[in-house]
Amino acid sequence: GDSVTQMEGPVTLSEEAFLTINCTYTATGYPSLFWYVQYPGEGLQLLLKATKADDKGSNKGFEATYRKETTSFHLEKGSVQVSDSAVYFCALSDSSYKLIFGSGTRLLVRP
Amino acid sequence: DGGITQSPKYLFRKEGQNVTLSCEQNLNHDAMYWYRQDPGQGLRLIYYSQIVNDFQKGDIAEGYSVSREKKESFPLTVTSAQKNPTAFYLCASSRSPAGGAGEQFFGPGTRLTVL
């Protein structure tokens, strides 16, 4: 079945460092891909999405490019802030209503 | 403001008791979902509903039940048959099938603790 694999955390960075969180997927069709963010004690918020190969999703300085050839959707940000500390989830959707989530990657940004 | 509300935020239950978690949305979305999140893990789908009066089991439906009598509401009952119910429960909704690039919108969650 379809699945999503994320790098294990926590990822600990200093403020203004460059961030990459790796995400790869397995899917039989042509899924849409998402990054969600979860702040402590809260629900998930959509960060960005891409619906077809080579699409780049971006929001709040975060970017991810849908790479069909490598089945990847890595999340990047050029300069992280303390307020970016959260758990980040990569997810895919197939032709059904369901989202399939990765296990999440916790990001800790130190001042 | 449109959104999804879940209540209560924290819930405590004694073993052997059923408990119902509320989820309401005013986004006019057709589809609604319930997920369970355990510490350090991703989200696992419990039940989902694509339309009023219809719902399907997700990956971990055992010990849970739902109803969808109104478009706005999708309550989840955690029954005494659920062996390990302590977790964070998240409700979500979407306008269109997720495969049509329809994102899911999440509520703030309910943390259930069994005493």
Inspect the interface and report whether the beta carbons of B98 and A42 lie closer than 8 Å: no
Coil, helix or strand for B99?
A: helix
Give per-residue pLDDT as tens, B20-68: 999 999 999 999 999 999 987 789 999 999 889 999 999 999 999 999 9
Inspect the interface and report whether the beta carbons of B103 and A51 lie closer than 8 Å: no
Q: Which of residues 43-72 of B touch A (CB under 8 A)?
A: 43, 45, 48, 50, 58
Inspect the interface and report whether the beta carbons of A95 and B104 lie closer than 8 Å: no
Facing A89 at nearest CB: one of B4, B31, B42: B42
Residue type at A29? G
The rounded distance, in Å, linking the Cα atoms of B70 and B93 is 13
Compare all CA atoms of chain B with the CA of A99 and give the residue at the minimum distance: B98
The rounded distance, in Å, linking the Cα atoms of B32 and A88 is 22
Residue A94 is predicted with a pLDDT of 75
Residue B102 is predicted with a pLDDT of 65
Beta strand A105-110 with A86-93 is antiparallel
A36/B98: higher pLDDT = A36
The greatest distance separating any two alpha carbons of chain B, rounded to the nearest whole angstrom, comes to 42
User: What DSSP character marks residue A83?
Assistant: G
Tokens, residue A41: 């004690």
- Measured in angstroms, the CA of A107 and the nearest CA of chain B are apart by 12
Cβ burial of A5 (10 Å; 0-12, 13-18, 19+) is: middle
